[in-house]
Amino acid sequence: MSGSIVLFGPPGAGKGTQAGRIVKMTGKPQVSTGDMLRAAVSDGSDLGKEAKEYMDAGLLVPDSVIIGLIVERLKRTDASSGVLFDGFPRTIPQAEALESVANVIAVVSIEVPDDAIVDRIVGRRMDPETGDIYHVEYNPAPLEIEKRLIQRKDDTEETVRSRLLAYHKQTAPLADWYSEKGLLFSVDGNGTIDEVAESIRDSIVGI
């Protein structure tokens, strides 16, 4: 299938966790604005320094910064038949900008209520070597890599509250925006990781 897929949902919904499986299924490269911003932060670039302030506060990074990153990323040849967007777009202006640089064929919304989100985010751990995502309780890492796992600086209970506020105010309205275009596929994000993966597969298999 030609065109891009958007993985949509609140912070901690499971977008990054599911992305790897969708990449395998569709062959489309994952484009995660969160990962791109974290790479810029660790490089210490000017963009990274600017973004860090927003990320640490649980606020969205300005649209102009994000749109610039995406436009550059989509110029790479691996993006020519579409990509899997993870964590982008997060505002209506971002979605509008996306319309002029990519053909979105499906928006998969992973639905998880706020009370489950805090637990998921506070228990999230990342493997800095592979980028794999784990959870202390729901998806524990193998013992041999447990020591090298890191916790994201913004994965605290306090920051999650700001991120959820930003989600409801600035990002959630995009669901209606995409629904009106007939592109929204909602899946229940409350099951196990495998169950959610199956619902996503079922929802996009025919597109």
Contact set with ligand ADP (CB under 6 A)? 9, 11-17, 33-34, 37, 54-55, 58-61, 66, 87-88, 90, 94, 120, 123-124, 133-135, 138-139, 154, 163, 192-193, 196
- What would the two tokens of residue 69 be? 């990153």
Known catalytic residue: 15? yes
Angle separating helix axes 63-73 and 92-99, nearest 10 degrees: 30
Catalytic residue (choose from 28, 38, 120, 124): 124
Known catalytic residue: 152? yes
- Comparing CB distances to ligand ADP, the nearer of 3 and 62 is 62
Catalytic residue (choose from 28, 90, 120, 125): 90
- As a whole number of Å, the end-to-end CA separation of the chain is 7
- Comparing CB distances to ligand ADP, the nearer of 53 and 176 is 53
C-alpha to C-alpha distance for 135 and 119, rounded to whole angstroms: 10
**Phi, psi for 133 (deg, rounded to 5):** -110, 135
Residue 141 CB, shortest distance to ligand ADP, in Å, is: 9
Known catalytic residue: 181? no
* Helix, strand, coil percent values for the chain (each to nearest 5): 50, 15, 35
- Comparing CB distances to ligand ADP, the nearer of 176 and 195 is 195
How would you label 65-97 residue by residue, b for 16+ Cβ within 10 Å and e otherwise?
Answer: bbbebbeebbeeeebeebbbbbbbbbbeebbeb
**Phi, psi for 179 (deg, rounded to 5):** -60, -40
Residue 73 CB, shortest distance to ligand ADP, in Å, is: 12
Give the residue at shortest CB distance from ligand ADP.
34
Known catalytic residue: 163? yes
Residue 186 CB, shortest distance to ligand ADP, in Å, is: 15
- Comparing CB distances to ligand ADP, the nearer of 2 and 46 is 46
Known catalytic residue: 21? no
Residue 33 CB, shortest distance to ligand ADP, in Å, is: 3
Q: What distance separates the 2 farthest-apart alpha carbons in the chain?
A: 48
- Which of 69, 7, 17, 2 shows the shortest CA–CA distance to 39? 69
Residue 59 CB, shortest distance to ligand ADP, in Å, is: 6
C-alpha to C-alpha distance for 118 and 161, rounded to whole angstroms: 8
State the catalytic residues.
15, 90, 124, 152, 163
